[in-house]
Structure 1
Amino acid sequence: MDKLSCKAMAAHVPAPGQTPEWAWFLHAIPSLALLVSTPQDPYYHAEGDVWIHTRMVIEALMRGPDYIDGSDEERFILFYAALLHDIAKPATTVIDPDSGRIGQPGHSKRGAIDARILCWHAGVPFAVREHICRIITVHQLPFFALAGNKNGQSAEFLIRKLSHELDLRLLSAVAQADMEGRCYEKKDDCLVGIELFREMARDEGCYGAPKAFADPHTRLSYMRGAGIAPDFVHHQNAGSRVTVMSGLPASGKNHWVAANRARLPVVSIDDAREELGLRHGANEGAVAHRAVDFAKEMLRGKAPFVWNTTHLSAQMRKKTLDLLYAYDAEVELVYLEQPPQVIFKRNTQRDTSLPNKAIERMLFKWEVPLPTEAHVVHYFA
């Protein structure tokens, strides 16, 4: 099979009124073939397997005004978000042995990572790829957003936050198609919920644009749960100014720091590992403890510094960011990325104990930072 390319992907995005070349997609993206044999709970999906549902979703999407009137880029995003929105259901399917009920827990988050890896190898432009992945991550949220979520976050909060992470018009279009493309007895209720989601976003002034905030600190404080109004400046205590790096190994983080923050102290997991004389994967707890102790020393003195490590998953970044914000730090998050061939070639040429196969395993934890994670987020990809 030829290597999948962004050019080929774009060429096969159907125009409104055209029939998608289903056979091409099954050939070009082999993981889609697994959808054919993946069952779904008949209560929510009486139409049948995941591939039947996916085709119905795309057909519904293509009838909608956002697809018909969208730009070429918007159609690309919409089409591949819909095509790949359930790509992880085969890997996450569980069947209750007693009731026979079928579930696919975590398929949205895992699906976004699978789509990211696929699109990275295909050379899809960064911003387009991440828009697709962000939609996949939350594609079910508009179904029930008006009720808030299990973390106690309100619909108002979710809409404001999401508006800084993706275009709510495109998310709503995919969510509506996802609901229309199934046989479910409560489908009409969910479609009403999606339309109300749209209306609330319009009322908030963030349907197709980010919600306005007084300044970056007010926005970040709100996103982290402060009960404040977006229009009024939230006081910022003095603290360290910290540059937090993020990116796959061999993506150029050390080079960027040397070129742009050369005069600042650096908290580095690699340096801590080297100081302790350890290889990758050996006594990572001690390595992290050494790095954190140095960071706390900088934070107590309100000194500027760089935190340089992969910070590849949202969970890894959260640990670092929670610590920094507890000390009132002002954070810029710098994300770097390179094409796969560059990453793997560079890594083989480095003096490192990290093999390429380990990087390949790391990809399954790869979550690109969201714009809502720091005061400012820079993407170099």
Structure 2
Amino acid sequence: MRPFLQQIQAGARPDFPAFVEALGDVLPLLAELRRTPQDPAWHGEGDVATHAGLVLAETYDLADREGLGPDDRLGLVLAAALHDLGKALTTRRAEDAAGESRIISPRHADRGRSYLAYRLPELGLPYPVIHAVMALVGHHHDLGRTLESGSERAYRRLARQVNLPLLYLLEVADTRGRLAADRTSKLEDLDLFRLGAEEYGVWNNPDPYREWAEIIDGDLAVFPPAYRDLVREGGILDYEAGLIQTSHEAIARGYAARAGFPQLVVTCGPSGSGKSAWVAEHLPDYDVVSLDLLREELAGKRADQSVNGRVLQEAKERLKASLRAKRRVMWDATNTRRDFRGIPLRLGFDYGALTTLAVFQPPLSTVFERNPARTHAVPAHVVASQVENAEFPYLTEVHRTLVLDEFLRPVAARGMGPVNFGGWPQGDIL
């Protein structure tokens, strides 16, 4: 990890220009924030860099007051500096309902999170810190939306994706770090959010569905782990969609799957991130639906994009055949965009499959270094486009999520049994 980051862990309080200087080689968008305007109605302090500097100052005070540990402090401070990074990619002018020109930055939190996904690993950060920063950046507008909803399911959905106390501190700093007429009311809303989270039992609770898991895994202890994962994680998704209310309903809805169910693994990562090597080693007995292989089969070469329509249609038919037969099948493609991976995932849900995203998250430099040595190298500009347009997955997209680093080691696993993080576990957890 870079000395600059180690100093923050130890209590240093660098200003925003120091972040630009220390991290700008990996995060060049930092330098663009000084030239990124904000709507004066909500950000009277000026450009995004000025705002980030004010938020950082507030964050240091809050972190010291709360006595955060080194990793939590580092994660919160990095999130404060980077929370609006996506504005450099999304800011534009548009007319509001009254016909007035306003500055807007639609989906900047999501864009910023995805921008960081393959760049933060370049800094030598531990993956738990990387994922904490990404969660804080990606969800920093969801606190208000959750309060507006007011439902327990909305609070639980947010709590299983991000550390709520850290998100609360980030939003307090974010609100204090701007000049706007609604600042006082926003701070009051944040306190109401905290009270709601405490009332629902999800404040400072990294596992808001622990009781569900204990009931489901206990009642279904005699069944295979994959079936328990399907019932438990499917139940959580159904609850958050408003379809059920209790863990016992989840058990009842999973009864039909006792006769058998398909399993679908979908890869997600840019070319050169190690997907094919991992699949060959760990999923040798899965049916494989590969868009590259289908292009080669239908057009004679993998790079021929003229047959993409036929390739996609054939891929869907082969996937449906495996799902109907209740087989284990994997969809091999980059799937870095949400709409692309949504195609196989929707089919998986339609056919009652246990769905898993295998997400490959190496440092950006590793992707570009590996690509030329591959048997089927992809042009560098294509890889760059995959990364720039990537939409890093959220836990709510599937039943199970497995994240792997540049050495194809699991660095995060959600929705499945324990993983030996020192290396791939014995046996097939998928």
Common fold: TM-score over 0.5? yes
Distance 1:156 1:259 in 2: 41
Whether the aligned pair in 1 keeps the contact of 2:117 and 2:392 (CA below 8 Å) is: no
- Mark the CA change 1:20 to 1:130 in structure 2 (over 3 Å): closer, same or farther: same
- Encode CA deviations 1:91-110: one digit per residue, 9 max, x unaligned: 32222476242212221111
Among 5, 14, 18, the alignment partner of 1:24 is: 18
Counterpart amino acid of residue 383 in structure 2? I
Whether the aligned pair in 1 keeps the contact of 2:172 and 2:187 (CA below 8 Å) is: yes
2:8 counterpart of 1:10: no
Query: Which residue number corresponds to residue 151 of structure 1?
Result: none
Counterpart amino acid of residue 329 in structure 2? F
2:117 counterpart of 1:113: no
Distance 1:155 1:94 in 2: 33
Q: CA RMSD in A?
A: 2.4
Using the TM superposition, give the Cα deviation of residue 48 of structure 1 relative to its aligned residue in structure 2, in angstroms. 1.9
Query: Which residue number corresponds to residue 59 of structure 1?
Result: 57
Q: Figure out how many residues of one structure are paired with residues of the other and give that number.
A: 370
2:147 counterpart of 1:131: no
Sequence identity percentage? 28
Distance 2:160 2:397 in 1: 10
Distance 1:250 1:91 in 2: 25
Using the TM superposition, give the Cα deviation of residue 244 of structure 1 relative to its aligned residue in structure 2, in angstroms. 2.3
SS in 2 for 1:283: helix
- Encode CA deviations 1:257-277: one digit per residue, 9 max, x unaligned: 222221221111121111112
Among 57, 70, 75, the alignment partner of 1:77 is: 75
Counterpart amino acid of residue 272 in structure 1? L
SS in 1 for 2:19: helix
Whether the aligned pair in 1 keeps the contact of 2:269 and 2:359 (CA below 8 Å) is: yes
Among 172, 175, 181, the alignment partner of 2:177 is: 181
Distance 2:7 2:374 in 1: 39
Query: Which residue number corresponds to residue 87 of structure 2?
Result: 89
- Mark the CA change 1:34 to 1:245 in structure 2 (over 3 Å): closer, same or farther: closer
Query: Which residue number corresponds to residue 246 of structure 1?
Result: 268
Gaps of 5+ in 2: 217-228, 406-430
Distance 2:145 2:365 in 1: 41
Gaps of 5+ in 1: 1-5, 149-153
Query: Which residue number corresponds to residue 228 of structure 1?
Result: 244
Counterpart amino acid of residue 296 in structure 1? K
2:276 counterpart of 1:262: no
- Mark the CA change 1:95 to 1:265 in structure 2 (over 3 Å): closer, same or farther: closer
Query: Which residue number corresponds to residue 206 of structure 1?
Result: 202
SS in 1 for 2:403: strand
Distance 2:365 2:101 in 1: 44
Using the TM superposition, give the Cα deviation of residue 377 of structure 1 relative to its aligned residue in structure 2, in angstroms. 1.8
Counterpart amino acid of residue 223 in structure 1? L
Q: TM-score, normalised by structure 1?
A: 0.88
Query: Which residue number corresponds to residue 295 of structure 1?
Result: 319
Whether the aligned pair in 1 keeps the contact of 2:119 and 2:364 (CA below 8 Å) is: no
Q: Which moved more, 1:23-32 or 1:74-83?
A: 23-32
Q: TM-score, normalised by structure 2?
A: 0.79
Using the TM superposition, give the Cα deviation of residue 67 of structure 1 relative to its aligned residue in structure 2, in angstroms. 6.7
Distance 1:286 1:352 in 2: 21
Distance 1:64 1:280 in 2: 54
Among 294, 297, 312, the alignment partner of 1:275 is: 297
Whether the aligned pair in 2 keeps the contact of 1:67 and 1:78 (CA below 8 Å) is: no
SS in 1 for 2:395: coil
Distance 2:307 2:80 in 1: 42
- Mark the CA change 1:361 to 1:67 in structure 2 (over 3 Å): closer, same or farther: farther
Whether the aligned pair in 2 keeps the contact of 1:332 and 1:374 (CA below 8 Å) is: yes
Whether the aligned pair in 2 keeps the contact of 1:14 and 1:20 (CA below 8 Å) is: no
- Encode CA deviations 1:287-326: one digit per residue, 9 max, x unaligned: 1111111000111111222222222123322222111010
Query: Which residue number corresponds to residue 3 of structure 1?
Result: none
Counterpart amino acid of residue 312 in structure 1? T
Among 163, 169, 172, the alignment partner of 1:167 is: 163
Counterpart amino acid of residue 333 in structure 1? L
Distance 1:71 1:280 in 2: 52
Whether the aligned pair in 1 keeps the contact of 2:86 and 2:112 (CA below 8 Å) is: yes
Whether the aligned pair in 2 keeps the contact of 1:314 and 1:367 (CA below 8 Å) is: yes
Q: Which moved more, 1:225-234 or 1:247-256?
A: 225-234
